[in-house]
Amino acid sequence: MLKILCGLALAALSFVAPVSASEGSLRDAFDREQSSLASIPRSRIRSLVVQPESHKAAFSFSKGWVDSQPLPEGDAEWRCLTEALYFEARGETVRGQFAVAEVILNRVKSARFPDSVCGVIRQGTGKRFQCQFTYTCDGYSDTIRERAAYERVAKVARAILDGVNHNLTGGATHYHTTAVRPRWSSTYTRTAKIGVHVFYRHKFRTASN
């Protein structure tokens, strides 16, 4: 029995000894690695580090959500919608900007209007004050002067074209500001008021509106 216990003790000692030696080797290896890393430019190390993906904020009609979105890109349809939102609704709340964008897309879907975003926005352009969106035929230069506002509505345009839509306007295809009351408003169904805009749709709706 004593021989067995002595044998176990010797086995334990023979097992522990390599661990101590291994720790010393690891320390030497760590020191060498630290020395090697010190010789590498910090810019090179930063380029090799993979940054974790940031958590995307849940959608909301807020400047915070819009500002958290990346700068967008797009085709002519996106550019037309961005321009329209800038001149028609840049001073509105985010909800109001989405509502105006929704009206434009509702027109695209309707058989009563052109079947493209640019077509809808430019309808009637060329006839002074007879166009659908006043900024396109008021005779003033369409110059973007507020870059931050333009970037924000560009993100709104990108979002709604990508499918963010909460039916804010009840299918509206028309709107006007609260500062005016056009004659046509009495012949349409009022569907919503958001910010300084009042929204309407045709009284008689069909599958294609």
Q: Is residue 145 part of a domain?
A: yes
Regions of the chain with pLDDT less than 70 = 1-23, 26, 30, 36-37, 41-56, 126, 129, 204-209
- How many structural domains are present in the chain? 1
Is 100 contained in some domain?
A: yes
Q: What is the pLDDT of residue 146?
A: 97
pTM, two decimals, is: 0.69
pLDDT at residue 41, rounded to an integer: 64
- pLDDT number for residue 37: 64
The answer as to whether 150 is a domain residue is yes
Domain of 119, in residue numbers: 75-202
Within-domain flag for 92:
yes
Specify if 93 maps to a domain. yes
Residue 80 dihedral angles phi and psi, to the nearest 5°: -65, -45
Res 203: pLDDT: 79
Query: 144 in a domain, yes or no?
Result: yes
pLDDT of residue 116: 97
- 64 within domain boundaries: no
Residue with tokens 């010393």, as numbered in its chain: 24
The verdict on residue 186 lying in a domain is yes
pLDDT digits (tens, 9 = 90+) for 94-126: 999 999 999 999 999 999 999 999 999 999 876
Closest CA to 101 of 123, 118, 84, 87: 84
